[in-house]
Amino acid sequence: MATTELTVTISDAEWRVMRIVWTLKEADSRTIIDLLEQQHDWKPATIKTLIGRLVKKGALATTKNGRQFIYTPLIDEQSAMDTALITELNQMCAMHRGTSLAHVLDQLELSHDDVENLIDVLQKKLPTAPTMVDCDCLPEGCERSC
Amino acid sequence: MATTELTVTISDAEWRVMRIVWTLKEADSRTIIDLLEQQHDWKPATIKTLIGRLVKKGALATTKNGRQFIYTPLIDEQSAMDTALITELNQMCAMHRGTSLAHVLDQLELSHDDVENLIDVLQKKLPTAPTMVDCDCLPEGCERSC
DNA sequence: AAATTGAGTTTACATCCGTAAACGTAAGAA
DNA sequence: TTCTTACGTTTACGGATGTAAACTCAATTT
């Protein structure tokens, strides 16, 4: 059985590295360092540390290529994004999630196709949507003064 | 001028405390500790630490009430939620945000009213939505192989 | 072959966070 | 008034994170 790294946690700084590798599909450290030095004022050593941690965490795979390595993602970008968002939302009051998402959707730049897709997803939910979602901030059986 | 604490960062564990206070509008430590001991297996000391940190951070205000304090939120719940989500999204590839939100909306439990409201927000965006949102994972001027 | 370069590894260190015990002190009980 | 309770504060400590210098070698250059 494999190491089943389905629960890799990626920190903010590490996320920047992953985005490069996700976008390029694969990259050597030189490429990653060059690109990130342009975006942030990180020293090469800092970026090396981040790459090293991501490899140790099982977020990046390495393939020997002569003297250096080629790094490839071991976790899926879309899944990582989905998980991060869901995790964040799950930590918030269930009753207020809808409003927050409305604010987010309002402020975010989305493509025409995305907007249509989102409307579609929501339309499908309408029939089965409950009248209201209860606040889950207090333990079971407590007064809800939301 | 006041201390302008508009950028208070709340950690995961602290978020649990804030949810209690947000929901109750105000609470003394006894109440907070009792409620959180039911939800988590945190020792009272742990919860005291979290409360203390939130006060120091400027997320909670204190009002003397005889021997103890009454804690009230100094930051708005909905704003905190919005900011947390937007911050999270801003750290992800712009091109993939739409898809991720679709997954989130699909999985999340939302009230009928929320769904309608969300559809409304999206419908208003449709006319001005761009054909596509570019990937912003690489520095300006790089190839985009997304 | 010797010197140099550079990729990956090790070490460093301050801060934040989760988790919690210990303590000081004022209020309430005896 | 003295003892006790309990609230808020101080101290603690390991792990994660941001940030980065130093070091080890193997490959490349001279």
- For domain A12-73, give the fold: Arc Repressor Mutant, subunit A (1.10.10)
Burial class (CB in 10 A: 0-12, 13-18, 19+), B66: exposed
Model pLDDT for residues B122-142, shown as the tens digit of each residue: 999 999 999 999 999 998 766
Distance (Å) from CA B70 to C1' C26? Answer: 17
Residues near A67 by beta carbon (within 8 Å), at least 6 away in sequence: none
pLDDT band at A134 (very low <50, low <70, confident <90, very high): very high
Domain ranges in chain A are 12-73
Please tell me the predicted confidence (pLDDT) of residue B145: 52
- pLDDT at site B81: 97
Chain C bases near protein Cβ (<7 Å): 6-12, 16-22, 26-28
- β-partners of residue B28 are B70
A108 CB neighbours strand C below 7 A: no
**pLDDT greater than 60 at residue A140:** yes
Question: Which member of B15, B118, B144 has the closest CB to residue A102?
Answer: B118
Percentage, residues of chain B above pLDDT 90: 86
User: For residue B134, what are the CA distances in angstroms to A62, A117, B63, B97, B100?
Assistant: 28, 17, 50, 11, 15
Q: Given the DSSP bridges, would you call strands B68-73 and B27-28 parallel, antiparallel or unpaired?
A: antiparallel
CB contact under 8 A, B110 and A100: no
Q: Which has the higher per-residue pLDDT, B61 or A1?
A: B61
Q: Measure the CA–CA gap between B49 and B13, rounded to whole angstroms.
A: 10
Helix, strand or coil, per DSSP, at residue B28 = strand
Residues of B in contact with A126 (CB under 8 A): 112, 115-116, 119
Determine the topology of domain B1-91 in CATH. Arc Repressor Mutant, subunit A (1.10.10)
| pLDDT tens column, A12-57 | 999 999 999 999 999 999 999 999 998 999 999 999 999 999 999 9
| pLDDT, position B5 | 53
* Residue B143 pLDDT: 58
Q: What residues contact A21, with CB distance under 8 A and at least 6 apart?
A: A27, A32, A60, A71, A72, A73
**Least CA distance to A40: which residue of chain B?**
B139
